Structure formats: structure tokens, C-alpha cells
Structure 1
Amino acid sequence: MTQINRRKLFGLGAASVAAVGAGAIATNALMEGTQPAAAASTSDPLPFYGEHQAGIVTPAQDRLHFVSFDVITKKRDELIDMLQEWTASAARMTQGKDSGTFGAVGGAIEAPPDDTGEALGLPASGLTITIGFGPSLFDDRFGLAAKKPGALADLPKFPGEDLLPEISGGDICVQACAHDPQVAVHAVRNLARIGFGKVSVRWSQLGFGRTSSTSRAQSTARNLMGFKDGTNNLKLEDASMLKQQLWVAPGDGPAWMSGGSYMVTRKIRMNIETWDRTSLSEQQQIFGRDKGEGAPLGKKHEFDELDFAAKNPDGTPVIAIDAHVRLAHPSTHGNAHLLRRGYNYVDGSDGLGRLDAGLFFIAYQRDPRKQFVPVQMELSRKDPLNEYIKHVSSGLFACPPGLRDAGDYWGRTLFA
């Protein structure tokens, strides 16, 4: 991969606070209420080190490769060694370098290369790699049971879901986001290569076309139903809200999670063909927004304030009682917000010639029990959108805080 100009790397954003220590870049911009470093273009690198993991409030990239691993080694030391090697590799790849010291072609020709090589010549493309630990990792294999956070309790069964266990759960997840799909796939492929014999891939998902904006500098994206998605999503500029709703605070639970966040994933298949035969009027009533501008019904602009009290001339609510936007609104759930980071997916077609397509939902929050669970329970019981969607996969992961410098590694505070 191309070499990164150090001056460009350290000048990624005027609001970033960069520090060099064993090649590390650290930033605490989020907690200071300022915007963290951002790449000057979609080909440039983003900082790997910092108070929080990259890939959460980072302006959402266009491509995703998500993977969930099962740990197959029974040796704690082997797992720690792998996490250390993963961290070093991820630090290199996010800066546009090969995954290993000798790269794809620099080692002994008789030995397998240190890098798979499909990203040779490609820039960093804004790659971020984010890790999370699932509830199943905290069994009796590695002595972690006492460190399992209460917030990592298994999600309840929601009405109407039809989850496939083979594409749900997992011990460790990796979220790789980039502006180039080959860069994201390369990152996951090389971590899986490094983990051979210690972890095995449980399931994975490719995504395209972000469905949420995580910065006000980004326009609101559309899902495969054609509607703007996540208009009121938490944004990286919302420093006080992020502190309240996103980052785990001291006293919330195990100390190793302070500064981290909890990730929920849901693969939501859409009945595309049925939706496409539904009238525009009904589609808009279901969402509670117009399809073109994304404005709340009865309003003109996307970011106009929702008016749930507004009535039609016949006395019916302008925004229906069961409209998606009303059921999901924070006012319905004790001011619970989510930071959404989902992606569209198309996994070909099924045996009946229907598109296997939908939304790979990713949401980060401070405590799923108080945020995702009540929101999803309300939606699963009342949302008319359920006629057109089905939840087929689910995951819950504890994403630890960011890394201090090159001497740190993913899971250090957990395994200490």
C-alpha cells in the first residue's frame, strides 16, 4: 500500500489534538466538545489511537466489512497474543501500510507473506477498525466472568423476529469501515489470517451506502426503501449528548469499559418487492416523513421539528400514532438516543427470485438495556413497517475504550 506523508497525517483536522509517542496519534477532541480529526479526502488515513475507538463517531464511510469470530483456542495467553498482534496490524493498515512488517512481498519467498496483497497500491481510504467483545467471551474459558458488564446482558426476544443463530452472536466482532470496499475486506481478511487457529469466522456481512450520518458535515443517507434514514441521529458534534448517551462513564460498570460503548447489530431483511408495490402515500404514512425531502409530515424541510400534536382537518394526527418516526422518537423512551452507523446490503437473491436485501443496523450506546431494548420493543410491537421487514440476525458487543499509544492493545484493560 502507499506510504503516508507524515505531515498530512498529523494535519488531518484543525481541531485535532495530536501527540507523537512511539508513532501514536492521540486525540481527546470528543470529550472536549470539538470535532475530532477528519481525513482531508476519502483516500487519506484517520488516527488509530485516541481516547475512544475510531469507527464510532468517525464520519461514516461508505463501505463496511463486519465479521464476528468465535474463539477456538482454550489458552488465555494465546488469545492475548492474538489481540496484541491484531492491534499492531490494525494500526498499520489504518495508516495505509501492509498488515505485517515484511508486507506482501518483502519477506522470505519460501514463506507465506505477512500481508495478503490485495490492497497493494491502494491508499488508506479512511479505514477504521473497531473491536467489540460479545457476552459469550465471558464464560469460564478465560477467567473473565467476573468482568462481564451488566449492560452486556443478552437481548430479550422481540416480537416477530426470526433470528438465525448461525449469523448471530459471537465472541469477538470487528467492524472495518472504509471508502474503498477492497480496503475494508483486506483489513478483515488479514485479521482472520493472523487469528488462524485461535479464532474462526462465525459470520460476516458486507455493507454499502451508509444509512446514517454521524457528522453534520454529512448529508442524510437513504435506505433501500428510498427514505432518508437517521435524520436525528447523534452526531460527533453533540459533545454533551455523546457524554450522556454514548460513552460508558466511570461507575457505570466494570472499570475496563470506561470510555467505551456498547454495539448492537441487527440484520434486517426487507420485503423489497412488496414495499415497491405500496403506494407513496402509505409509505410516507408508515415512516411519518415525506420521501423526497425527508421532512416530517406537515412540514417542509428535513430538520424541521416534529409536531406530534398537529391534526388533519378531520381530526386525525398528521403523523400517525403508529408512525415509525413517532415510535422511535426519544420522547417515547425517556430521552433514549442511539448513535446509528448502519449500511445497506444486498446478498444476491433467494430461490424465489426475490432480492435478499435490507439494512445491516449498527447502533452504539451507553447502555442497551436503557436505550436499544425499549426502543426496539416498542417498534416490534406497534410499527406497521414490520409488515415489510424481518430481523434475521442479532449481535451485542462491548467495545472497549480507545488505545493510548503503540504500547497499548485491544483488551489490555479487560485482561489486566
Structure 2
Amino acid sequence: MSSKSVPSRRNLLGAALGAAAAGAAGYAVAHETGHAGGSPAAARTQEPVPFYGARQAGIATPAQDRLAFAAFDITATDAESVQVMLGTWAAAAAQMTRGLPVGADDRNTQSPPVDTGEAEGLGPARLTVTVGFGPTFFDERFGLSHHRPAALADLPTLPGDGSLQPERSGGDLCVQACADDPTVAFHVIRNFARLARGTAVIRWSQLGFGRTSSTSQAQQTERNLMGFKDGTRNIKSESGTDMADYVWVGKETDQSWMRDGSYLVARRIRMLIESWDTDSLADQQNVFGRFRTSGAPLTGHGEFDTPDLNAKGRDGQPVIPAGAHIRLASPSSNNGQKILRRGYSYTDGIDATTGLLDAGLFFLAYQKDPRKQFVPIQTRLGRQDNLNEYIRHTGSALFAVPPGLKGAGDWWGKSLFA
């Protein structure tokens, strides 16, 4: 057989994406027609969050109730296999965010189903699928080292990093699936892992519940597992100025392919909640710098009152203690820098060594440049935060989250392989 008659992996990718798109269209008609009517499943279906666009959904999108997150290591040694996988993922995500199964309707009962089926009938549930590239994605394996952004510099060892676990850190790729239904979010990670077989494997994963930060003015501020409102002063997606100044990568980048993208820092933060539960309410409030019930700063009455970091009590000491979390995390304490938080609570059962609950915060933060935002903020917190007595950072990862996809046939990082 001549070399001209052998199909290239790039041609196979184009064919696969074309088939996926055709299958999706055909399945959508059959699926939506077949489910017309007032069924309970249809009643649960919500309007989908658009998958295609200039920027990836799942960043400025109002935070959903549930999270399924996974970091992947690439096991393939050729770039074309990675392209095929990313293209297949993109085609699958386009269907899942519409509440449709992966691939076309299954007709061959003698083969495994194309879709795993657990999310059938649950609807879109406001699902978003967000994909990013870790620093190791740009090593020498795929010839992409010259595309690595300077802002994707490895995170330095930070104060409080002594409990980090390598098996819960790093990764070549990340997938963040957020939805208002836990099965819908998990469905993405399960199917991405299945579609990646032979090319990539899950390095670590994390399920999250109970969003801990509001990312929209329409959302109330939720509480973390310590019982306090979290992320009251978070960037809101309605603030175009803050999003442009602190979240979206602009013309300042040294890599044009990252424009309209962002950088994600993921940290698994275990809370020593048994110790926290023995602390006095007064001390708990001093640790955070807020009243537990109202969420107001210790210098105010309402949750959204601006903390007065200069206020002193009758004893001459700051009303908001020097080591209070809100003081050290405040933009005024960090050269005006902000980050967009999208964290979730987590629980992973019992620590077999201690018999204590393994629970806490899965911290997700988007920003324009981690070197100028997360690193200095976390350095200050790691050194001075009174909260450090009750938390341990057990996982850490950094990812470059590229801009959104233009339409069918596009995939994350496509321009890198051109």
C-alpha cells in the first residue's frame, strides 16, 4: 500500500468530528422528538449554557451547585493522538451541555453503548465543561514548549505547602464540569476518561458540593463547612471592568493563543473541622474577621459592608485582627489584586489514619496572571492567616485555560498544533 493511501490521523480526526456532529444532530432530533410532552424528566430540563463562544463557559458563568473535576496525565507519545482526543472531547461536550448523550443513537446492541447512560433524562442542568493545560503539557513530548505562556510558570513552594500530596497535585490537562445535578457533572468526567483511553488517564479527581462563592450579583453568598459565608467580596461576573482587569487574559500576554482565556489555580484545602468545632464563637469570628450569622465584617452590620481595616477597639487593638482572613485576603492588603473564586465544599469520607473527617474546601480561582495574583496573596495568607491553625493544603495545580471554541470542529488548543 502506498503512503498516499494511508489515512493520516489528522484526516481521521476530521472524519471523527464530522461523524460526531452529524450523529449529534440526528440524535438531537430523535431524542427531543421522542421526549416531547410533560414528562418529569422534561420538567427538570433547563435552558443549556451555550458551549461555543469567545470564552469558555464555567468561568464567568454563575456558579452551579455541583462540581466534578479531574486532572489527566497524557500517556500517548504522539501529538496527533492528543488532537484526536481533544477533538473527541469537544464534540462530546457540545452534546452533553445540551442534555444529550455522547454520540449518535445506539442501534447496535451487540456493542458497548456509546454513552454510559447515567445522565439520560436529567437535562442540561446548566452544565459547563471547562478545559485547561498544565505546565507539563508544554514539555518536549509534543513540540509545544515554545507555546508555553510565561504566566504558566510553576507555582513556587508556598508557606503552608508542607502537607501537599503529589498524587493530588499537577496534571497535563484539567476538566472542570459544573452543573446543578451531581450526576450530570460526573457524567462528563466518566465519559471523558472513557474517550481518552489509550491517550490519557486520570491523575486525580475531586467531587464538590455546595458552592462556596457567589460569582453573580443574583446569587446569595453560601457558607463553607466552617459555617461562615465565603467569598462575599468575590468578583462578580456582571463587573466587566473587574473581569477585564483581573480575570481575562488580554493583549499583555506573550502568547496570543491565550487571549480571552484565564489561569486556574486549584487547591484542595482540608479543614480540621473537629478542632474548629471546639473553638469559641468569638475566636472563630476573629479568625475570619466576620460575624458568623450575618456575614458582616466585625466593623459593620451588613454582609456587604466594606471592612474598616483601620478601626480600633477601646483597647487600642484592631477590631479586625491583624491575622484575620478577610484582612490578609483584602485587595487593599495585596496591591489591589483580586481573583475570581469558584470553590466548592468537599467530603471524602474518613482519614483512615486519624479517624477524622476528610472534608474541606476545593478552592478554584481564575485570574489573569498567577504570578501577580495568587502567589503573593497566598504567600501572605500562608505566613500570617489565623485560619492556618485549622486547615491543611493537600493538593495543588495550575492550568492555562484557553479561550472558547468557535463552533463544531474546533477544540481546545487547536491553534497550538497548526
Cα distance per residue 1:137-174 (max 9 Å; x no partner): 11100000000011111111112221100110000000
Deviation of residue 42 (structure 1)? 7.6
Is the 1:270–1:357 contact (alpha carbons within 8 Å) kept by the matching residues of 2? Answer: yes
Tell me what 1:115 maps to. 115
CA distance in structure 2 between the partners assigned to 1:247 and 1:413 by the alignment: 19
Tell me what 1:99 maps to. 102
Cα distance per residue 1:191-247 (max 9 Å; x no partner): 111111100010000000000111000000110000000001111101011011100
Aligned residues: 379
Tell me what 1:21 maps to. none
Tell me what 2:52 maps to. 49
Is the 1:4–1:95 contact (alpha carbons within 8 Å) kept by the matching residues of 2? Answer: no
Deviation of residue 311 (structure 1)? 1.1
Tell me what 2:370 maps to. 368
Amino acid at match of 1:82: M
Tell me what 1:234 maps to. 235
The share of aligned pairs that are identical, in percent, is 56
Deviation of residue 278 (structure 1)? 0.3
Deviation of residue 4 (structure 1)? 5.9
CA distance in structure 2 between the partners assigned to 1:303 and 1:206 by the alignment: 29
Tell me what 1:190 maps to. 191
Is the 1:211–1:230 contact (alpha carbons within 8 Å) kept by the matching residues of 2? Answer: yes
CA distance in structure 2 between the partners assigned to 1:323 and 1:42 by the alignment: 43
Amino acid at match of 1:267: R
Cα distance per residue 1:168-196 (max 9 Å; x no partner): 00000000000110011111111111111
SS in structure 2 at match of 1:100: coil
Cα distance per residue 1:360-384 (max 9 Å; x no partner): 0000000000000000000000011
SS in structure 2 at match of 1:326: helix
Tell me what 1:402 maps to. 404
CA distance in structure 1 between the partners assigned to 2:78 and 2:176 by the alignment: 25
Deviation of residue 41 (structure 1)? 8.4
From 357, 365, 380, give the equivalent of 2:359. Answer: 357
Deviation of residue 407 (structure 1)? 2.9
SS in structure 2 at match of 1:357: strand
SS in structure 1 at match of 2:190: helix
With over 3 angstroms needed to count, the CA separation of the structure-2 counterparts of 1:42 and 1:337, relative to structure 1, is farther
CA distance in structure 2 between the partners assigned to 1:228 and 1:315 by the alignment: 28
Tell me what 1:218 maps to. 219
- Where do 1:173-184 residues align within 5 Å? 173-184=174-185
Tell me what 1:148 maps to. 148
SS in structure 2 at match of 1:309: coil
Is the 1:43–1:179 contact (alpha carbons within 8 Å) kept by the matching residues of 2? Answer: no
CA distance in structure 2 between the partners assigned to 1:141 and 1:233 by the alignment: 38
TM-score by length of 2: 0.89
- Where do 1:341-356 residues align within 5 Å? 341-351=342-352, 352-356=354-358
CA distance in structure 2 between the partners assigned to 1:70 and 1:195 by the alignment: 10
Gaps of 5+ in 2: 1-26, 34-42
CA distance in structure 2 between the partners assigned to 1:252 and 1:381 by the alignment: 30
SS in structure 1 at match of 2:58: coil
CA distance in structure 2 between the partners assigned to 1:163 and 1:189 by the alignment: 26
TM-score by length of 1: 0.89
CA distance in structure 2 between the partners assigned to 1:99 and 1:398 by the alignment: 26
Structure number with bigger Rg: 2
CA distance in structure 1 between the partners assigned to 2:323 and 2:193 by the alignment: 43
Please, what is the CA RMSD of the aligned residues?
1.5
SS in structure 1 at match of 2:361: strand
